[in-house]
Amino acid sequence: MTAAVLPQDYTDFLHAKQVETPALGFTPAALPAQLKPFQHDLVMWALQQGRAAFFAERGLGKAFMELAWAQAIAEHTGRPSLILAPLAVSWQLAREAQRFGIPAAVTRDGTLPEGVPVIISNYERLPHLDVSVFGGVALDESSILKSFMGRTKRDLIEAFANTPYRLAATATPSPNDTVELGNHAEFLGLMEPGEMLTRWFINDTTQAQTFRLKRHGELEFWQWVASWARALRLPSDLDPQYSDDGYLRPAPNYHAHTVQTDHSKAPEEDGALFRQVSASATSLHKELRDSLEQRAAVVADLVHAEPSEPWVIWVHTNLEADAVRALIPDAVEVRGNMTPDEKEARLTAFADGSTRVLLTKPSIAGWGMNWQHCARQVFVSLNYSFEELYQAVGRSDRFGQERPVQVHLVTTDTHSSVLATVRRKQAEHEAMQGKLIEATRGVRDGTAITLTVGPAHRRTETADRWTLHNGDCVAVTRTLPTASHDFQIFSPPFSNLYSYSPDLRDMGNTEDDTEFFRHFGYLIPELRRTLKPGRLCAVHVKNLQVYASSNGYSGLRDFRGDTIRAFLDAPKGEDGSFWSYHSEVCIWTDPVREMQRTKSDGLLYKNIKGNAAKNRQGMAEYVVVFRKWGPGMEDTERVTHDPEDFTLPTWQQYASPVWNDIRRTDVLNAKIARSDDDEKHLAPLQLEVVRRCVRLWTNPGDVVFTPFLGIGSEAYAALQLDRRAEGVELKPEYFEWAVRHAQQAAQDASYRLFPLEMEA
The 3-state secondary structure of 593-659, one letter per residue: HHHHHHCCHHHCCCHHHHCHHHCCCCCCEEEEEEEEECCCHHHCCCCCCCCCCCCHHHHHHHHCCEE
Handedness of CA 747, 753, 756, 760 (dihedral sign): negative
For the ranges 198-212, 294-308, 481-495, the lowest mean pLDDT is seen at 198-212
Is residue 268 pLDDT above 70, yes or no? no
Q: What is the pLDDT of residue 205?
A: 44
Nearest to 359 by CA among 377, 338, 344: 377
Query: Has residue 220 got a pLDDT over 90?
Result: no
Measured distance between the N- and C-terminal CA atoms of the chain, rounded to whole angstroms? 36
Task: State the sign of the Cα–Cα–Cα–Cα dihedral 575, 576, 577, 578.
Answer: positive
Q: Higher model confidence: residue 480 or residue 416?
A: 480
- Judged by average pLDDT, the poorest of 8-12, 34-38, 386-390 is 8-12
pTM: 0.61
170 pLDDT band, cuts 50/70/90, is confident
**pLDDT score at 86:** 84
Q: CA 13, CA 139: separation in Å to the nearest integer?
A: 40
Q: How far apart are CA 680 and CA 203, in angstroms?
A: 10
Q: What is the arithmetic mean of pLDDT over 252-263?
A: 83
pLDDT for position 580: 97
Mean pLDDT is lowest, of 417-426, 497-506, 568-577, for 497-506
Q: Please tell me the predicted confidence (pLDDT) of residue 87.
A: 75
Compute the average pLDDT of residues 497-521: 80
- Average pLDDT over the chain, rounded to an integer: 83
Helix (H) or strand (E) holding 549: helix 548-551
450, 500, 458: which is closest to 475 by C-alpha? 458
pLDDT score for 471: 93
Taking Cα atoms as reference points, which of 168, 225, 219 lies closest to residue 196? 225
pLDDT tens across 708-759, in order? 999 999 999 999 999 999 999 998 888 999 999 999 888 763 444 433 333 3
> CB-based burial of residue 151 (10 Å sphere; 0-12 exposed, 13-18 middle, 19+ buried)?
exposed
* Alpha-carbon gap, residue 52 to 228, rounded angstroms: 5
Q: What is the pLDDT of residue 562?
A: 95
CB 618 within 8 A of CB 594: yes
Give the helix/strand (H/E) hosting 222. Answer: helix 218-228
pLDDT band at 204, cuts 50/70/90? low
What is the pLDDT, as a whole number, of residue 434?
A: 80
Q: 651 pLDDT exceeds 90?
A: yes
How far is C-alpha 262 from the chain's CA centre? 44
Taken as a whole, the chain contains a residue count of: 760
Segment 213-242 shows an average pLDDT of: 83
pLDDT(611) > 90: no
Q: Who contacts 23 (Cβ-Cβ below 8 Å, separation ≥6)?
A: 48, 49, 50, 447
Question: Which DSSP symbol is given to 178?
Answer: G
CA distance 263 to 299: 23
